[in-house]
Amino acid sequence: MIMADKTSEAELIDRFYTAFQRGDYATMQTCYHPQATFHDPVFQSLDSRQVRAMWQLLLTSARDLRVTFSDVSAQDVTGSCLWHAHYTFSRTGRPVHNIVRSKFTFREGKIFTQVDRFDFWRWSRQALGHTGLFLGWSPLVKNKVRTTARQGLDRFMEKG
């Protein structure tokens, strides 16, 4: 991990991704503001409760997840980080290397908004194989992945 700034917000990002590396979803959850929101190409719009559950679901179901992060930066109420995730996509058994740029806003010393960006087509080619290669850019595949992921999160949250 390379830290560009040593502000309390940068330290928060560092704590969040260090916990991510360890599979410590409970620490990750404490980094979020009670009114936090999350957005990425799969999970389009999550509230604070949903984003906390998402990390718990992802980390408790991950078998071989390896996370690295760098380029942590924070100024006043905004921040960013580059992170890489290496894992096996459970539905297909295919290896994935996802490269993600996270952008944050902060409120009261916590993550208030998190927007993660990654190349969905690149991810789908790895995770879905030929389907991702030929159709991973299409709304049909994107919407199917989003719907499946959201249904999985909803079921996980219902179990409590």
Tell me the backbone φ, ψ of residue 104, rounded to 5 degrees.
-125, 155
pLDDT at 149 over 50: yes
**CA 134 → CA 32, 72, 119, 128, 131, distances in Å?**
37, 34, 15, 10, 5
pTM attached to this predicted model: 0.91
pLDDT digit string (tens) for 77-87?
A: 999 999 999 99
What integer best gives the mean pLDDT of the chain?
93
d(CA 107, CA 10): 13
Share of the chain above pLDDT 90, in %: 86
Number of Cβ within 10 Å of residue 143's Cβ equals 10
Cα–Cα dist 98/42, whole Å: 13
* Average pLDDT, integer, range 18-42: 97
Q: 82 by DSSP, 3-state: which?
A: strand
What domains, with CATH codes, occur in the chain? 8-159 (3.10.450.50)
Q: Over 60: is that where the pLDDT of 5 sits?
A: no
- Residue 7: the pLDDT is 61
